[in-house]
Amino acid sequence: MGEVHVGRVYDDARPQDGNRVLVDGLWPRGVSKADAHLGEWLKTVAPSPELRRWFGHSADKFAEFGRRYRAELAAPVRAEAVMHLKQMAQAGKLTILTATRNPECSHAAVLADLLAQGQDPDASPEGGDPACWLHLVCTNCGAVAESDPPTTCTRCQAEISG
């Protein structure tokens, strides 16, 4: 496995960055695509808007955010994107970029940790059973419910049956 680093998209590109991949769902303000020097923009791996809003980049919620985000990454489209990142990391240096002010307390850090550990997206870092969160994930769009037990997805309005 190659080196995996986390950085800000606003930072200047460096030769030691290797392949630079933006993992945010929205394009960062004030950055042109040419100035970003990206190999790829992989927005399918970004956390859902609901999870991002709930987290609010609060360090107190980071552990729980990491668990919920890993549950989201188990959805097929996102798991495929994580596998793509793993392949890039195996090919050489990879820098996962985000626009957040504190990348060490962000989804990019969770992704980097996941890639460094070589785990499956639905594997828990504490070694617990990842299926315990599965009942919170909308099978239609992959959003994670904020209430337990969930009834209706806040993103796509589909019924969530736990």
Chain segment 24-39, per-residue pLDDT in tens = 999 999 999 888 999 9
Residue 75, domain member (yes or no): yes
Instruction: Please tell me the total count of domains within the chain.
Output: 1
Tokens of 162: 């736990």
Characterise 86 by phi-psi region: left (phi > 0), alpha (psi -120 to 50), beta (else): alpha
Which strand (E) or helix (H) includes residue 40? strand 40-41
Q: Return the closest-CA partner of residue 98 out of 147, 26, 30.
A: 26
pLDDT band at 162 (very low <50, low <70, confident <90, very high): low
d(CA 78, CA 72): 7
d(CA 137, CA 141): 8
User: Residues 99-119: pLDDT tens digits?
Assistant: 999 999 999 999 999 998 864
Helix axes 62-73, 107-117, angle to 10 degrees: 60
Domain that holds residue 71: 4-124
Q: Return the closest-CA partner of residue 113 out of 125, 102, 122.
A: 125
Residue 142, domain member (yes or no): no
Tokens of 100: 């957040």
Residue 144, domain member (yes or no): no
- Residue found under tokens 């904020």: 146
pLDDT band at 153 (very low <50, low <70, confident <90, very high): confident
d(CA 141, CA 48): 9
Tokens of 115: 């890639």
Whether residue 71 contacts residue 136, with contact meaning beta carbons closer than 8 Å, is answered with: yes
d(CA 104, CA 106): 6
Cα angle 140, 142, 146; round to 5: 110
pLDDT at 123 over 90: no
The residue with greater pLDDT, 50 or 149, is 50
Residue 118, domain member (yes or no): yes
Residue 145, domain member (yes or no): no
Q: Return the closest-CA partner of residue 88 out of 51, 123, 39.
A: 39
Residue 17, domain member (yes or no): yes
Structure pTM? 0.71
Residue 99, domain member (yes or no): yes
pLDDT band at 1 (very low <50, low <70, confident <90, very high): low
